[in-house]
Structure 1
Amino acid sequence: MTITQLERTRRAAAVSEEDIRRALGAVLDPELDEPITDLGFVRSVAVSAGPEGTQAVVHLRLPTSFCSPNFAYLMASDSKDVISALEGVEKVLVELDDHHDSDLINAGLAADAGYRGTFRHEAEDSLEELRQTFRRKAHTAAMERCLTDLLRKDPGLSETDLGTVRLQDLPAARNTEALLRRRAALGLPGGGGAIVFVNHEGRPYPPGDVPMALRRARATRISIDGNAHFCRGLLRTRYEGSGDEQVHRPEGAEAADHHNLLPFTVKEIHS
């Protein structure tokens, strides 16, 4: 065996199933804002040695056959991207199982056709626009979690007071770190003097608007958490044993630190 062949074999052996699953932990369900690994959406991972490195085959599953094709494509495409970025990976095949658009999505992924190249005339909006919408929702929920934590710890704090809270006033905690990641994804300032409770453009709310804005933020967070709980249950019903793959977190807590690789670059064909 030549030195080049030995090196290729070493690189292929260096990428394990665990490495693949760890990379997939950076892929989020855009609506639920949780890693697909925690949700149980990764059905199987297989790795083998190819002539130039590791070959990986990943199968994904969703709670229903009619989950949004946009979301399904986004998760499958992001999965292929994060695995392809691993050093030593030669070839990646990601397939979505048991979805009404599985054939279309799988063919588009295999051909690297991009979102619009896959769905063509059905792709009404840019996938990046969709991703940005859910980044904003995730940021809103993250703000609400941090501010609600403050209200619980300080009964003397009023909702109106929350409009003047700055990042430096938040404790060094998991929810704070998650908020900072989401601000970075939106291009919002992350310095200690920055106001926490802001709109999507980074502007603070007038004092009189803070209580109502907080209620809207809480509704967004509850919706995200409720949908996640519902989808987990649907998946367990659809696939026996899938609950063993799910990772649960306490109510009101952020998901684990899986967001540091975001945002991904979206591949699209515009012609």
Structure 2
Amino acid sequence: MTATFQETLAMRAWKALDTVVDPELDQSITELGFVAALSVTPIESGGHEVHVLLRLPTYFCAPNFAYLMVADAHDAVLAVHGVKTARVELADHFASEEINAGVAAEEGFGSAFPRQGVGTDRHALEELRLTFRRKAHLACLERTCRQLVRAGWQIDALADTTIGEVPDSPERESLLRRRAELGISNGPEAPLFVESTGERVSAEQLPAKLRFAKAVRISIEGNSGLCRGLLDTRLERMAEEAQG
């Protein structure tokens, strides 16, 4: 295989990493700057190995989140045609050794962190992913409803509002993506305010559910702001060190 092929494979692997999304920030790991390096190496038996170096915002990012990012990056790269093996390495993290070994062995998060009390297979990883997606859906739902209330909608009327009645906006588009991830209908007649399971929320339950969704949204936004700031600081420091 030529160097050009390797370069093309590297581009396709990078594009695959574009599909790996931080479940709370709703941005890909490439956009967020989590991918520190990517290289392609031929394998004597045929095919290529792709090595990806990931670096998260802080040394103390939650291990379940870190494991999810590494596992999803591994699966995305391995699915690229021409990639025989994928080696995704998390650097500068307190649990990088356990996470890297667990993902390389294709074990679940629980195998790498048995004291966390979760399953040890891929199903457990999917449950972990689902937890993040449900939180993100709540945050997007609250943003969309907040926008409607500011436009004059009554809170109790939101229980009968359908997706088709919600005006186009970035908040609506983000909510539609989150609903699709959870398998919730996005048809025009589908109710707007639903649980993460797709079950409609009654008018009586809605105010309390909206308050809870607001708390989740504030928590996510606070965490994301902190992470972005810490990541920028880390990248700036690394650039300064590289310059001497």
Could you say which residue in structure 2 is the equivalent of 1:108?
102
**Matching residue within 143, 146, 153 for 2:144:** 146
Could you say which residue in structure 2 is the equivalent of 1:217?
213
Maintained 8 Å contact 1:11/1:54: no
The answer on 1:68 being equivalent to 2:62 is yes
The answer on 1:158 being equivalent to 2:154 is yes
Maintained 8 Å contact 2:141/2:175: yes
Q: Comparing both chains, which one has the higher relative contact order based on Cα–Cα distances under 8 Å and sequence gaps of 6 or more?
A: 1
1:78-127 deviation line (CA, Å, top 9, x unaligned)? 100001111122221110101111112222223333433333x3241233
1:41-85 deviation line (CA, Å, top 9, x unaligned)? 211122344453343211111222222211111110110000111
SS at match of 1:38: coil
Amino acid at match of 1:69: P
SS at match of 1:222: helix
Amino acid at match of 1:73: Y
The answer on 1:37 being equivalent to 2:33 is no
SS at match of 2:204: helix
Query: Offset at 1:230?
Result: 0.5
**Cα distance in 2 between the residues matched to 1:50 and 1:150:** 56
Unaligned runs of 5+ residues in structure 1 are: 244-271
Could you say which residue in structure 2 is the equivalent of 1:46?
39
**Matching residue within 23, 31, 42 for 2:16:** 23
Unaligned runs of 5+ residues in structure 2 are: 119-123, 240-244
> CA 1:175/1:241 → structure 2, altered by over 3 Å: closer, same or farther?
farther
Query: Offset at 1:33?
Result: 4.2
Maintained 8 Å contact 2:41/2:48: yes
**Cα distance in 2 between the residues matched to 1:114 and 1:199:** 27
Amino acid at match of 2:157: D
Could you say which residue in structure 1 is the equivalent of 2:179?
183
SS at match of 2:38: strand
Could you say which residue in structure 1 is the equivalent of 2:242?
none
Percent identity, aligned pairs only, is 44
The answer on 1:231 being equivalent to 2:224 is no
